[in-house]
Amino acid sequence: MTILLLARHGQTPSNAQGLLDTAVPGPSLTELGRQQAQALADAIAHQPVRTIWASNQTRAQETAEPAAAQFGLPVGVLPGLREVDAGDMEMANDRPSVDRYLHALGEWMQGRFDVRMPGGELGYDVIERYDRAIEDAVSAVSSDDGAVLVVSHGAIIRTWATVRAQNLEPGYGSRNPLSNTGVVVLEGDPERGWNAVQWMDQAIGGPEVSADGADGPAADPAPLDVTSAAEAAEAFAVGTEPDTTDITDGEDDAYTRWRTRAGG
């Protein structure tokens, strides 16, 4: 069984300004973002990471570099891991534009993949290209041969993990944010499917590297029309949800608990 670590990149200037900045190659990390990247590497140093992958966006590759140095591994680049294209809302930070972006994500997390991001991608295409990228990322690791680190982006991680984790209900990622260097941990493989083990929504390095809310729109919950009425009509429970305890809640934090379960 492969352990899949889906880590969101560190903070960028666009995150700090609340911008929907999704184009390739995109911005570099802020100084805080670089600190978050190092904290990510330190936090997973005990894990049996066999391969490291990042999207073709600068911020993801820069976030992966400290972990690559830690493990002595190269960073493979998979364009399919890139962020969900903001389309007509690119570089906007006004509330209506952000809500339109999040609304499309929320629709996809409910299984309505025929919805198109305004001026951007169809849900079907987003899930398909991320599926292919994850298959490529895990293909070099045998099912009992350790962990794969994927450094990607907030909106796409929340969407794909909600859709593909068999133990998460529809819309789960709409309600649960993912701050810079938050990590979603899954176990399984592309053939038999994935189960979510942990949804660590805050920066994995703890409060010392928290962006204090300056994580960008990809960390925001979806608008209420997706997360309340639609979910009340359609959501169903398919298993036990992962432990979503904030990882910054003291020594016995969620990351420590996950590490113990994973044998680290």
Q: How many residues does the chain have?
A: 264
Residue 83 is among the residues annotated as catalytic for this protein: yes
pLDDT greater than 90 at residue 145: no
Mean pLDDT over the full length of the chain:
87
d(CA 59, CA 13): 10
DSSP 80: G
pLDDT greater than 90 at residue 234: no
Give the other-Cβ count within 10 Å of 232's Cβ. 9
Catalytic residue among 9, 103, 107, 231: 9
- Residue 27's pLDDT is what? 98
Residue 103 is among the residues annotated as catalytic for this protein: no
pLDDT greater than 80 at residue 223: no
Cα distances (Å, whole numbers) of residue 62 to 41, 201, 233: 12, 20, 41
Both tokens of 9, joined, read 């990149």
β-pair type (193-200, 183-189): antiparallel
Both tokens of 35, joined, read 């600190």
The architecture (CATH level 2) of 2-262 comes to 3-Layer(aba) Sandwich (3.40)
Question: Binning pLDDT at 50, 70 and 90, where does residue 157 land?
Answer: very high
Catalytic residue among 31, 62, 65, 83: 83
d(CA 33, CA 15): 10
d(CA 204, CA 75): 20
pLDDT greater than 70 at residue 229: no
Q: Is residue 161 a contact partner of residue 186, using CB atoms and an 8 Å limit?
A: yes
pLDDT greater than 60 at residue 243: no
pLDDT greater than 70 at residue 224: no
